[in-house]
Amino acid sequence: MVRLACAAGTALMKYKDYYQTLGVERSASAADIKKAYRKLAHKYHPDISKLANAKEKFQEIGEAYETLKDPEKRAAYDELGSDFHAGQDFRPPPDWGAAHGEQYAAFDDMDLADLFASLSGGRHRAHAGRGHSGHFPIPGQDYEIAADITLEQAAGGTEFEVNLAVPEPGDDGYMRRVPRKFKARIAKGASEGQRLRLPGKGGKGLNGGRDGDLYLIIHLLPHRLFRASGHDLYIDLPLTPWEAALGATVQVPTLHGAVHLKVPAGTRSGQKLRLAKRGLPNPREGIGDLYAIAQIVLPAELSEHERKLLQQMAQGSTYDPRKHFREMAA
């Protein structure tokens, strides 16, 4: 095995208490660790959980389990000592890596996960060295991140800035996190939940393995006025009782400026008025529609004049909206 002349002991990193993360004692059996992991995974798995911090929590749990489920890594972790508390700065003891069959390369922003990944990386290399070809291809990891964009950005297309730190092998063959920053172009017409694939923008593949992909999951930020459903948009349209009864032409905002909408006489509350092709562009089916949902509203306080007009109407009208109640009772 190749030994590297590394700066062991110089890497300062934050201690993570993997036992605490999984909620088990340091003396927990492998079965208890597995049980604790599964219980937490059920709660925080990003494909199942709706909790806001699920992804981060599951990442922490996964990192802890990845180390503690492996007897060799667990022994190496235990050897770091139990005197640290989570978040505390610490340095692995000198020769700690060599004691576990591998030396690691220290780098500035190294963390505990990198340290243990370097241990398994060493095992990969050792294993590969025994094969006929000397190496076997390891595909790079895929990543998924949420891309929060506004409705306006979805309608017009946008560029989303991606900031990632993905593990990559350095010249020495050891994995380290490398920051990557670029922009992903999101074509117009993106909708809630849509995924964009950025081939090769995930983790680097090893030994000729393909690079992983990056997936952006589109999330439309809530809008002050519009609600999106697929490529259609909905907006509340407040109307006065007299506008609804008599009909009116009102101004309605759209994503591309205000338009005039003719409200037909006799419009009911909740009625949907369609403004064709004023929704989000749909790359496959043209443009979605905008629906204005009529809502009949009253002034919070009536003026004396308004009160008199309404009283006049109440006295003069024979309309009974509850006629069917009486018919049922009869």
- Residue 172 touching other proteins (CB under 8 A): no
Measured CA distances, 311 to 201, 299, 304, 317 (Å)? 69, 15, 11, 10
- Residue 171 touching other proteins (CB under 8 A): no
Out of 268, 284, 322, 324, the residue judged to bind other proteins by CB under 8 A? 284
Cα diameter, the chain: 99
Minimum distance of other proteins from residue 258's CB (angstroms): 19
Cβ-in-10-Å burial (0-12, 13-18, 19+) of 290 comes to: buried
Is 4 or 252 the residue whose CB approaches other proteins more closely?
Answer: 252
Coil/strand/helix, residue 43: helix
- Residue 137 touching other proteins (CB under 8 A): no
Is 126 or 187 the residue whose CB approaches other proteins more closely?
Answer: 187
Q: Are 33 and 68 in contact (CB under 8 A)?
A: yes
Residue 47 is given by DSSP the state: T
Tokens describing residue 233 = 């948009």
Minimum distance of other proteins from residue 240's CB (angstroms): 16
What is the Cα–Cα distance from 264 to 276, expressed in whole angstroms? 16
Is 80 or 252 the residue whose CB approaches other proteins more closely?
Answer: 252
Contact region with other proteins (CB under 8 A), list: 2-10, 75-83, 112-120, 287-295 = 287-295
Is 57 or 100 the residue whose CB approaches other proteins more closely?
Answer: 57
Is 103 or 153 the residue whose CB approaches other proteins more closely?
Answer: 153
Mode of pairing for the β-strands spanning 214-220 and 143-149: parallel
What is the Cα–Cα distance from 231 to 289, expressed in whole angstroms? 7
What is the Cα–Cα distance from 39 to 26, expressed in whole angstroms? 18
Selection from 233, 232, 162 nearest residue 202 by Cα: 162
Contact region with other proteins (CB under 8 A), list: 104-112, 257-265, 273-281, 290-298 = 290-298
Minimum distance of other proteins from residue 315's CB (angstroms): 31
Helix intervals (H) in 12-135: 18-22, 30-44, 54-68, 71-79, 96-99, 112-130
Q: 138: which strand partners?
A: 206
- Residue 59 touching other proteins (CB under 8 A): no
- Contact track, other proteins, 188-217, x by CB under 8 A: --x-xxxxxxxx-x--------x--x-xx-
Is 97 or 202 the residue whose CB approaches other proteins more closely?
Answer: 202
- Residue 250 touching other proteins (CB under 8 A): no
- Contact track, other proteins, 141-160, x by CB under 8 A: -x----------------x-
Q: Are 294 and 270 in contact (CB under 8 A)?
A: yes
Minimum distance of other proteins from residue 236's CB (angstroms): 5
Minimum distance of other proteins from residue 69's CB (angstroms): 10
Residues interacting with other proteins, by CB under 8 A? Answer: 38, 41-42, 45, 47-48, 58, 62, 142, 159, 161, 181-187, 190, 192-199, 201, 210, 213, 215-216, 227-230, 232, 234, 236, 270, 272, 283-284, 291, 293, 295
